[in-house]
Amino acid sequence: MNKRTTRLAILGAAVAVGALAISTASLPASAADADPGINVVGGTPADEGEYPWMVRLSMGCGGSLLTDQIVLTAAHCVDATGPDTSITASYGSVDLDSPDVVDYQSEYVHVSPTYASSGIDDWALIKLSEPVADAQLLAIAETGDYDEGPFEIMGWGADSEGGSQQQYLLKAEVPFVPDAECADAYGADLDPDTMLCAGVPEGGIDTCQGDSGGPMIARTEAGDPVQVGVVSWGQGCARPGYPGVYTQVSNAAAEILAAADELATVA
């Protein structure tokens, strides 16, 4: 299974309801040989302001604002830990061509040490060169209370497996897939301690190419969003029997928050 570097878009017709996409970055073990697609197939266009913490990254990935100067994304979307001024983060509208979109340049990247050594814990942080004006932030799940869905996925990725990236942000809802069921599809490539699966058995709803690094969210009892997953990998886009695989944020939350605190001090 290839990672969803282009992973989340939502299938559709006139309004580009498309499919999310998976990155083609390195995956765990044999997963690296699988297909590079996964998308929000079967979704609908997001309303302006519905997911105000969403960020589009110039390498073709998504992300979310963890702080006003730090983006949470997938490790397979970036290179190594260290100074990096090559990434542009676009923020401010569901329409990437909107005049409300503001571009921010990266300053430093932190890659999950576990991902760098073993290919699991697929998350990374990007520090921007300046704070985002009027930033809206997305809280991350620090416990597993919301890890069984239902979930919302969103992104600007391909509108079909191998398709084009989207101008407008697309969204969809997907149910939780238990570890045992997900392992039936992916075998030893699935690490249930660090990965979370979501999708429908018959396929048709998923993230896709260009959605890697974007968030999967659940809702608290009060209706507030909380990030439970990072779009990571899967087999194709919205294929029957192959759910999307997401980095399980609750498992890595303490390390993510500690890294963000440290990154905030990096000059």
Residue 262 in tokens: 């440290």
**CA–CA distance, 245 with 190 (Å, rounded to integer):** 8
The answer to whether residue 47 is catalytic is no
The answer to whether residue 261 is catalytic is no
**CA–CA distance, 149 with 238 (Å, rounded to integer):** 18
**Catalytic annotation, pick one of 35, 64, 112, 122:** 122
List the beta bridge partners of residue 125. 72, 110
Sheet holding 195-198, edge to edge: 44-45, 170-174, 151-155, 215-219, 225-233, 244-248, 195-198, 176-177
**CA–CA distance, 7 with 23 (Å, rounded to integer):** 6
The answer to whether residue 110 is catalytic is no
Residues 6+ apart with CB under 8 A from 63: 54, 55, 56, 57, 71, 72, 73, 77, 89, 126, 213, 214, 215
Residues 6+ apart with CB under 8 A from 89: 55, 56, 57, 58, 63, 71, 103, 104, 105, 106, 126, 128
**Catalytic annotation, pick one of 35, 76, 112, 250:** 76
**Catalytic annotation, pick one of 23, 64, 212, 232:** 212
**CA–CA distance, 149 with 174 (Å, rounded to integer):** 8
Pairing of strands 215-219, 151-155: antiparallel
Q: Which residues are catalytic?
A: 76, 122, 212
